[in-house]
Amino acid sequence: MSDGRNATLWQRISEGRQLDELWSQFTADARASYGFYGKDVDWDEINKLPRWRRPFHIAKEIFWAMLMKLTPARRVLLIVALALLLLSGFQLQYGKSFSMQVKFDAVAALIFLLLLSLELADKVTMKRDLEIAREIQTWLVPSDPPNVAAATVAFATRPQNSVAGDYYDAFYPTAAQEAAGKLSLVIADVAGKSVPAALLMATFQASLHTIAGEGVALDALVPRLNRYACAHSLQGLRFTTAVLAEYDTASRTVNYVNAGHNAPVVRRKNGGIQRLESGGLPLGIHSQAAFQSARIELFPGDALVLFTDGVVEAFNESGQEFGDARWVEAVRNLPDGNAQQSLQFLMRRVDEFVGATRQFDDITCLVLRCA
């Protein structure tokens, strides 16, 4: 009976994960936490010290980085708990007949437990709010790809946090454009991460659909979108890189503008590679920036791959980046198939390289595949 209860308890705690999975998750969490607190460490000063002194100073800097993340009241509690833990076991002896041992370890443990419960409550509350924000954010992007004549579209996004600053879209702005087979394709990345980037992503989506809904041509749409972005970019600090394109299903041509974004990859049926680089500055930097559009033609079997920098900047446990060269090679080796199969192939290549390493940035990819 007790073995069954123990098994049930372990199943509940571990959620059915194996030990190697739990260890991989722990190492990924530990590495991410070390990187998070390590941003507050003055590594230049530490590197000036002799090697034997560095571990102590790194530990001290990490401790202070952790301490300063707490509220003042919780900092005091943590210091008190550490002091009690250090004093625990102290023995006071008076003569041969009297001795007293001070034990505060139970009190210290209770304070640590109290701090843990307070921090956990904050995290759960924030996580619930972020999940609501994430649900709202999913309403702003398409859940299913549109129907496209003689082509397929697929997309995927993986936020680094619950909410993302990446944005993708594939839509017909107006009924007239849908009838004419003019499909808008967009991928964008707001500078920054988490909630601030997600809020700006929402404003970008709203302004894009408002302007595009007027039936504005791409050459006029991008400058207007840029002026709107400049008004909400905190003087260029919160700029947005983007690729905006219009795919004409009748002529199989793509008219596009690359506003400072990672150059999309066109993979020809014969394995040839072409990059879409024509454009200008990221949106939100200069209100009078000029943007150069360009046009390419696609053929049956060709694939157009749009992506954000989280793809090429994904790194493995050794700290090695996936990189643009590996990404282009993965696109070059796309097997025959539709857009969804192509997307799965590409994401699998990234996953195989990254392994169990925790995601550092939002990852988004959009694929258009001509049939």
* Res 278 pLDDT > 90: yes
pLDDT digits 0-9 by tens, 13-67: 877 778 877 787 787 777 778 777 888 888 888 888 898 888 888 888 888 988 8
Which of 82-91, 300-309, 316-325 is most confident?
A: 300-309
Going by their DSSP bridges, the two strands 303-307 and 265-267 should be labelled as antiparallel
CA distance 75 to 77: 5
Is pLDDT of 94 > 60?
yes
Nearest residue to 368 (alpha-carbon basis) of 139, 140, 172, 145? 145
For domain 144-370, give its CATH number from 2.60.40.1120, 3.40.50.12660, 3.30.230.10, 3.60.40.10.
3.60.40.10
For the chain, give the mean pLDDT. 88
Helix/strand/coil percent split, the chain, to 5:
45, 20, 30
Tell me the domain boundaries of the chain: 2-135, 144-370
